[in-house]
Amino acid sequence: MWSNILSAVLAIAAIVTADPLLPSQDAWYDQPEDIASYAPGDLIRFRQIPADLQPFFSIPVEVTTKAAYQYLFRTTDSLGDPVAAVVTLLEPHNSDPTKLVGYQAPYDSASLDCSPSYTVQARTDNALVGFPLPKTNTSIDIPFIGAALNRGWWVLTTDYEGLEAQFTVGLQSGHATLDSMRVVLREGPKVGLSTDPRYALWGYSGGALASGWAAELQPTYAPELDFAGVAIGGLTPNVSSVLQTINKGANTGLAFSGIYGQAKAFQNLSDWLDQNLLPEKADKFWAAANGCLSEAKEVGSDEDMYSYFAKGEASFYDPEPQSIFKWSGQMGIRDTPTMPLFVYKAVADEISPVEDTDTLVKQYCAQGARIEYHRDWVGVHLTEAIAGSASAMHWISERLNGDAVDDGCRTKQVVLTELDPATILTLGEEVFAFLQTILGGMLG
Ligand SMILES: *[C@@H]1O[C@H](CO)[C@@H](O)[C@H](O)[C@H]1NC(C)=O
Ligand SMILES: *[C@@H]1O[C@H](CO)[C@@H](O)[C@H](O)[C@H]1NC(C)=O
Ligand SMILES: *[C@@H]1O[C@H](CO)[C@@H](O)[C@H](O)[C@H]1NC(C)=O
């Protein structure tokens, strides 16, 4: 008996002290051979992980949950084939088990090792260098997850790109987001979640790609799910347009990981990449494409992506990339979302032009969607992630309270707080203090 207790204590000690394994080295992530025998949203594997999350800044704050769980579940890739993906479920202190938010993090990487199931977990290699893109695999989203947890909401965060890390791939990301909600609704009650919670989705940038595609795919792919709403900010309705917009800028590296993400999903794009990527540029391309967000940004910064391809810009007009980006990177060509939407976007967004979002919102509205759309005349892509988050959380809290939304659409021009991006880049604790204020005292 004592040895049982001792081994239990040792097992707990191991949970508390060991760093998590990188997903690429962790057999827990392996997709089972018999994946086809599972239905979408079925549980494949379950584990409890330590309740500590990785803090956002290298100042002594602790982000803890009451408990944290992970589920490997079955979902569906872009070709309709069965694949596995991972979701992490976080139970807050002071939990309200009737409220649940699916927060899709913008991990924006074609490497499995940058997935949120890994990056949210506390680690001892905490060599952070500050906002916004520490040179580590640390999630940039802990503040938003922390703010949601602080309200007593249960939070799930999905590795929606799947085990192949198919960054920017809409169908894969949308399906995994929906199936992660399915598995959590089914399995969550075993660990204390209500059997009938209200639930919503939230995501910014890459996280909005997953959440937005989920909203579009839901009426057909997961018609039994009854989302209270979806809040999406900094969205990228048209991936081709993003590629053009980010070229020769701070975010060009995301083009490389985005192209690689799509190439993993579609063989013809992979072949096109093999044929068109210039050998002398390949090392640099792969350094960005295989990295986490921070590495991709650093390596690709200010590069001319067209100079990496055999025919320059003309390579992008080949039928393969044209067909793939239209099919797999364009929102608005599937169902009209039936769940209410909150959309927030900086008018000066330098990653995805605001016109693309205007067009999508207009189209959805003409098709009967219910949307509150905030166009922020201050700031850019990164600042809007923070500035818009307070309104997004407010809107989500109304949905989780069961407040009705009005029919139809409303567009509001807003002017949210003065934020100088240069200040954000250089400040650490001050930004944290700012986040603390704007997000209502989270982590406090
Ligand atoms: C998406 O962007 C590309 C590149 O700017 C453009 O050619 C295409 O017409 C856009 N698609 C839609 C549906 O707006
Ligand atoms: C971060 O991810 C990369 C893969 O992109 C991996 O090689 C590296 O070991 C990871 N670093 C840490 C600190 O986990
Ligand atoms: C590439 O593959 C996709 C998926 O199979 C297909 O829809 C698309 O038409 C193909 N593109 C070309 C140019 O064959």
Residue 349 confidence (pLDDT): 96
Lowest mean pLDDT among 134-138, 240-244, 268-272, 275-279: 134-138
pTM: 0.89
If asked whether residues 251 and 354 sit together in one domain, one would say no
Band (2; pLDDT cuts 50, 70, 90): very low
If asked whether residues 305 and 429 sit together in one domain, one would say no
Q: Edge-to-edge strand order for the sheet containing 198-204? A: 43-49, 67-76, 82-91, 154-158, 99-104, 198-204, 229-233, 341-346, 371-376, 409-414
Band (418; pLDDT cuts 50, 70, 90): very low
If asked whether residues 191 and 102 sit together in one domain, one would say yes
If asked whether residues 211 and 126 sit together in one domain, one would say yes
If asked whether residues 324 and 344 sit together in one domain, one would say no
> Could you report the per-residue pLDDT of 201-245, keeping only the tens digit for each?
999 999 999 999 999 999 999 999 999 999 999 999 999 999 999
- CATH of residue 299: 1.10.260.130
Structure tokens at 87: 């979701």
Q: Using the atom order of ligand 1, give the atom closest to the CA of residue 333.
A: 13
* Residue 363 pLDDT greater than 80, yes or no: yes
Residue 233 confidence (pLDDT): 97
Q: Which of 349, 352, 356, 376 is catalytic?
A: 349
* Residue 82 pLDDT greater than 90, yes or no: yes
Cis peptide leading into residue 321 (ω within 30°): no
Ligand 2 site-directed mutation target among 19, 109, 113, most atoms within 8 Å of CB: 113
Residue 292 confidence (pLDDT): 87
If asked whether residues 407 and 371 sit together in one domain, one would say yes
> Could you report the per-residue pLDDT of 285-307, keeping only the tens digit for each?
999 999 888 889 889 999 999 99
Residue whose CA is at the smallest distance from ligand 3 atom 8? 323
Residue 443 within a domain: no
If asked whether residues 230 and 149 sit together in one domain, one would say yes
Say which amino acid occupies 86.
V
* Residue 429 pLDDT greater than 50, yes or no: no
Whole-angstrom distance, CA of residue 107 vs CA of residue 372 = 26
> Could you report the per-residue pLDDT of 140-183, keeping only the tens digit for each?
677 778 778 888 999 999 999 999 999 999 999 999 999 999 99
3 is known as an active-site residue: no
- CATH of residue 223: 3.40.50.1820
Whole-angstrom distance, CA of residue 228 vs CA of residue 188 = 18
First to last CA, the chain: 41
Read off the pLDDT of each residue in 267-276 and give the average, rounded to a whole number: 98
Pocket of ligand 2 (CB under 6 A): 22, 111, 113-114, 125, 136-137, 291-292
Q: Which of 294, 315, 381, 391 is catalytic?
A: 381
* Residue 103 pLDDT greater than 90, yes or no: yes
Ligand closest to the CA atom of residue 287:
2
Number of folded domains in the chain?
2
The domain boundary, picked from 310, 328, 346, lies at: 328
Read off the pLDDT of each residue in 100-113 and give the average, rounded to a whole number: 94
CA 24 to ligand 1 centroid distance, Å? 35
Q: Which of 311, 316, 314 is nearest to 326 (CA)?
A: 316
If asked whether residues 171 and 225 sit together in one domain, one would say yes
If asked whether residues 176 and 267 sit together in one domain, one would say no
Band (417; pLDDT cuts 50, 70, 90): low
Q: Using the atom order of ligand 1, give the atom closest to the CA of residue 332.
A: 13
Residue 295 within a domain: yes
Average pLDDT along the chain: 87
**Residue-number span of the structural domain to which 163 is assigned:** 2-236+337-438
If asked whether residues 319 and 347 sit together in one domain, one would say no
Angle at 24 between CA 330 and CA 78, to 5 degrees: 25
Residue 322 within a domain: yes
Ligand closest to the CA atom of residue 293:
2
Band (56; pLDDT cuts 50, 70, 90): low
Residue 156 confidence (pLDDT): 98
Structure tokens at 129: 């260098």
381 is known as an active-site residue: yes
205 is known as an active-site residue: yes
Residue 444 within a domain: no
> Could you report the per-residue pLDDT of 374-391, keeping only the tens digit for each?
999 988 888 788 778 878
Say which amino acid occupies 178.
L
* Residue 123 pLDDT greater than 60, yes or no: yes
Band (185; pLDDT cuts 50, 70, 90): very high
Check pocket membership of 77 for ligand 3, CB cut-off 6 A. no
**Better pLDDT: 431 or 323:** 323
